[in-house]
Chain A
Amino acid sequence: DTGVSQNPRHKITKRGQNVTFRCDPISEHNRLYWYRQTLGQGPEFLTYFQNEAQLEKSRLLSDRFSAERPKGSFSTLEIQRTEQGDSAMYLCASNPGNSGNEQYFGPGTRLTVT
C-alpha cells in the first residue's frame, strides 16, 4: 500500500492556460474523490467516482473543470482557461467504498495561476 499519489505536486501556469492533474488512488479502492482547498479554508468537495462512473459533481465544478476516471483506476482533473481564482490546493482521496469509511488523502497539487 503506497498511499494516494498526486502529480504534479506544484503547478504554476498563466491565466488562460489549461492544466491537468493526476491522482493515483490506493489500489482496489473503488471510490475516488476530488476536493479543492483554498488558503484558510477547509477542503471543499468537487466530485467523486465509483469505479469509472462519476456519480456526483459539486456546483463548484464549473464548465471549465472536467474529471475522468477512464478505467476505474487513476483519475485526471482538467481545468481549461485557468483563472486566478482557480489558485488552490487540489486534493484527491480514495476509499474502498463503504459509507462511513475514512477517506485516504493524497498530498495534493498546489496550483498557482499568474
Chain B
Amino acid sequence: AQSVTQLDSQVPVFEEAPVELRCNYSSSVSVYLFWYVQYPNQGLQLLLKYLSGSTLVKGINGFEAEFNKSQTSFHLRKPSVHISDTAEYFCAVSPSGTYKYIFGTGTRLKVLA
C-alpha cells in the first residue's frame, strides 16, 4: 500500500522569506508525484509534477520541488513567498500503472506581512 506524509500541518512564514513544505511517501512500486494548491472555496490546482527525468521540477508561481528517491521525499520550495501564496498545499502520489491519487493530509501555508 502507498501512503503520503506531510509532517507540517501549518507553516507560518513572513512575506519574502523562503519556505519548504515537506512531503514523504511510502510505496513498493514506482510513483508519479504531484503538488496541488487549494485556495479557500476553490478546487485543487496543480503546481507541479514529477513523472521521470530531472529530479528538480519547476512549477507555476515560482514553486519548485526535488524528487529524492533514496529518501522517498518530494519537498516543495519557494525562495520568496507572497501574501497570495497563503493556501493549503497537498502532496499526492499516483502509483505507476494506476490512475488514482493518494493525498497527504495537507500543509496550511500562512504568509505573514
Contact = CB atoms under 8 A, between A and B. Distances in A.
B43 A107 contact: yes
Contacts of A93: 44
A89 to B, nearest CB: 10
B100 A42 contact: no
Q: For this complex, into which size category does the number of interface residues on chain A fall?
A: 20 to 34
Contact of A42 (B43, B51, B90, B97): B90
A105 interface: yes
Contacts of A91: 43-44
Interface string A98-114: 01101111111000000
Nearest to A6: B43
A40 interface: yes
A45 B102 contact: yes
Given A100-B49, A102-B49, A103-B101, 19 more contacts: A4-B43, A31-B99, A35-B101, A40-B9, A42-B104, A43-B101, A45-B100, A48-B100, A55-B99, A97-B99, A99-B94, A99-B96, A99-B97, A99-B99, A100-B32, A100-B51, A100-B96, A105-B36, A106-B43
30 contacts: A33-B99, A33-B101, A35-B103, A40-B105, A42-B4, A42-B6, A42-B104, A42-B105, A42-B106, A43-B101, A43-B103, A45-B100, A45-B102, A48-B100, A56-B99, A56-B100, A93-B44, A97-B99, A99-B32, A99-B96, A100-B49, A100-B94, A102-B34, A102-B46, A102-B49, A103-B101, A105-B36, A105-B45, A106-B43, A107-B43
